[in-house]
Amino acid sequence: MKTYKPKYGTDKIEKLRRYVENFKRKVEKKSASVFTESLRTLISKLPSDGDARYTFFNNLFFDGELPKDVKVYIIDAKKNKSRSTGFDTEERRNSYKDMYNTSKDPNDRTLGAWYYDSRAIYIFVDRLNYNDFVIDTVLVHEMCHVWQDCVYYKDTDRNESMHGYAFQLSKRRTQRRSKGIYDGGAKIDTRLKEIDYNNGRYGNPTLGRTKFQVNQYYKKRINVELGVLQPGLKINNIETKEFTFDKNKFFFTGKHFLFKSEPNTQIKFNMRMLNNNKELIEFLIDSFSRIKDNKGL
């Protein structure tokens, strides 16, 4: 009898996303994760719940191809010591001891690990500030390693570097399938991930809002950041990308600022200053890209 493997295409991912976003809007609270909120009653931060998350993401991003015998342990390194019980095999307990003992260095920031021989993933939940979205980001990262070893290399010739070609291939595919939401590479800035998530960066701010309200949301977000990047610069119109600086109107083309009529010397100086602010330009390029995709800022 043929083994059933769920196949989740782009349309399925979109349906899941819409379901979750509608759920968030109805209950008016933040989700545990962009994709796992619909499983909130099934998923908590207990060690056993890591298996449910693994199954969910395996079907969603990896076509159900990852091995089903992988066990996920979501653990608190401050509370769980190397003698901790709860592991279903001695081999998995020993893998945890190995991870725990090599992570005693106070400067070590190991967030998680995948052990091929014991078929186990371990995640230090205390180092992720118990933030569900960040926990999922690290889990998906480790699952990219599982794909690398068990699907790409098919359990043989696993001599490639830890974050080499096969891992990058899996990471890029996961990033593409999640529309950039799960993109954890070799190093994950968990603090920034948590801040971005709490600020709604991974949600859809257009849900339940009128066009005017959406534009006001984006204007407010952008102007707050402009107060830091370029004091005095403000955005007036999201759709036309019109800005005001030094009582003059400038327009952002998507790559740089310009002044529509013939500028005088002062205006030319201001325009050059704005365009030379690389951090500002990068912020605006990213912001308008996110606005186009109905993402939060």
Does the pLDDT value for residue 19 go beyond 90? no
pLDDT in tens, 97-125: 887 776 566 666 788 889 998 999 988 88
Those residues with Cβ within 8 angstroms of residue 262's Cβ, 6 or more apart along the chain or in another chain = none
Strands (E), the chain: 71-75, 112-115, 120-124, 234-237, 242-245, 248-252, 257-258
Q: In the structure encoding, which two tokens stand for residue 27, read together?
A: 């209950």
* 148 exposure class (CB count in 10 Å sphere: 0-12, 13-18, 19+): buried
| Residue count of the chain | 297
How far is CA 19 from each of CA 15, 39, 98, 185, rounded to the nearest angstrom?
6, 11, 40, 28
Question: With pLDDT > 70 as the criterion, what percentage of the chain qualifies?
Answer: 76
* Pairing of β 242-245 and β 234-237: antiparallel
Q: What pTM was estimated for this model as a whole?
A: 0.62
Please compute Rg for the chain using Cα positions.
Answer: 23
Mean of pLDDT values over 57-78: 85
CA pair distance 273, 128, nearest whole angstrom: 39
Neighbour tally for 78: CB within 10 Å: 10
* DSSP labels, 227-259: HHHSTT-EEEETTTTEEEETTEEEEE-SSSEE-
Does the pLDDT value for residue 239 go beyond 90? yes
Helix, strand, coil abundance in the chain, percent, nearest 5: 50, 10, 40
Q: In the structure encoding, which two tokens stand for residue 83, read together?
A: 């003698």
CA pair distance 73, 45, nearest whole angstrom: 10
Does the pLDDT value for residue 209 go beyond 90? no
**Edge-to-edge, what's the strand order for the sheet holding 234-237?**
234-237, 242-245, 248-252, 257-258
Asked whether the beta carbons of 208 and 217 are under 8 A apart, the reply is no
Low-confidence winner among 83-92, 136-145, 205-214, 270-279 (lowest mean pLDDT): 83-92
Does the pLDDT value for residue 41 go beyond 50? no
CA pair distance 40, 38, nearest whole angstrom: 6
pLDDT band, residue 1 (cuts 50/70/90): very low
pLDDT band, residue 2 (cuts 50/70/90): very low
Characterise 294 by phi-psi region: left (phi > 0), alpha (psi -120 to 50), beta (else).
left
Domain limits of the chain? 10-189, 211-292
* CA 109 remoteness from chain centre: 18
Instruction: Give, to the nearest 10 degrees, the angle between helix 132-147 and helix 50-61.
Output: 60
CA pair distance 130, 105, nearest whole angstrom: 21
